Amino acid sequence: MKRLFIHLIGLSLLALPAWAGESVVLTNGFRLHADRHEIDGNKVRIFSNGGVTEMAASAVAGYEAEEAAVGPAAPATPAKPPTPAPEPPTPAELAASAAKKFALPETFVRSVMKAESAFQAGAVSPKGAIGLMQLMPETAKELGVDPKDPPQNTDGGVKYLRELLARYEGDPDQVLLALAAYNAGPAAVERYHGVPPYRETREYILRVLKNWNPDGSK
């Protein structure tokens, strides 16, 4: 019970306002600000601003506590506007970056990308090929890229194109064979010793060549 009583007293003290000091009310009606006071017999010592004033206790009518002055609230610091997220690169920008990285003509890379996905980053073929460069999941895994991430998808596809072009380097039909292998797989090219007789593959090659400007013009 005693502990509960002490606890309640503590709570009540916490609820009291903070005081800046006190007013010493004199019998003549004047008031003096004091930080604190001490009574010594018939004398009173008033402490204020580092000094001490002593007077007869009979000159004091009473003491009144002063509430701490609350200054104006500091102006709120305006919140910085959030930094806008950078715009994702466009398919054309991705094609240009990957073409430069793997030393292929930009127009060639862009033409393959158009034929593969029509520049749609979220494109998925009925066979499961993914993204701008239509990478199969197994191929993407071998290339070490995430096919659902447009920059990685583009880099992976262009890297694969570069590898296929290097594979058929020296063959007069190097570009045709590389495109055929990209579309139908190198195994099909090896099986038919050239461009496979698949309608889809032959139409794919024609679409790429139609949109590609070897002279570099756009």
The reported pLDDT for the residue numbered 112 is 98
pLDDT of 40 above 70: yes
pTM score: 0.62
Catalytic residue among 64, 66, 93, 116: 116
> What does the mean pLDDT of the chain come to?
84
Q: Where does residue 179 rank: exposed (0-12), middle (13-18), buried (19+ CB within 10 A)?
A: buried
**Confidence band of 38 (pLDDT split at 50, 70, 90):** confident
Per-residue CA distances from 95 to 27, 82, 139, 167 (Å): 93, 30, 19, 22
CATH architecture of 91-211: Orthogonal Bundle (1.10)
Return the ∠ at Cα 133 (arms to 127 and 139), rounded to 5°: 60
Q: How many CB atoms lie within 10 A of CB 107?
A: 19
Q: What is the pLDDT of residues 95-134, one digit of tens each?
A: 999 999 999 999 999 999 999 999 999 999 999 999 999 9
The reported pLDDT for the residue numbered 148 is 97
In a 13 Å sphere around the CA of 107, the CA atoms on its Cβ side amount to 10
pLDDT of 5 above 60: no
Hey, where are the domains in the chain?
18-67, 91-211
Residue range 50-55: mean pLDDT, rounded: 76
Identify the bridge partners of residue 101 per DSSP, sorted by sequence position: none
Query: Would you say 36 and 23 are in contact if contact means Cβ atoms under 8 Å apart?
Result: no
Q: From 2.30.30, 2.20.200, 1.10.287, 2.60.40, which CATH number describes the 18-67 domain?
A: 2.30.30
Give the rounded percent of residues in the chain with a pLDDT score beyond 90.
Answer: 57
> How, if at all, do strands 31-34 and 51-56 pair?
unpaired
What does the block give as tokens for 66? 């002063």
**Confidence band of 20 (pLDDT split at 50, 70, 90):** low
The reported pLDDT for the residue numbered 13 is 36
Query: 29 or 119, which is more confident?
Result: 119
The reported pLDDT for the residue numbered 51 is 76
Give 109-118's long-range contacts (Cβ < 8 A, gap of 24+).
Answer: 109/158, 109/161, 110/211, 111/208, 111/209, 111/211, 111/212, 112/157, 112/161, 112/179, 112/182, 112/208, 113/154, 113/157, 114/207, 114/211, 115/204, 115/207, 115/208, 115/211, 116/157
Question: Is 54 a catalytic site residue?
Answer: no
Q: Tell me the residue length of the chain.
A: 218
| Distance of alpha carbon 67 from alpha carbon 166, whole angstroms | 86
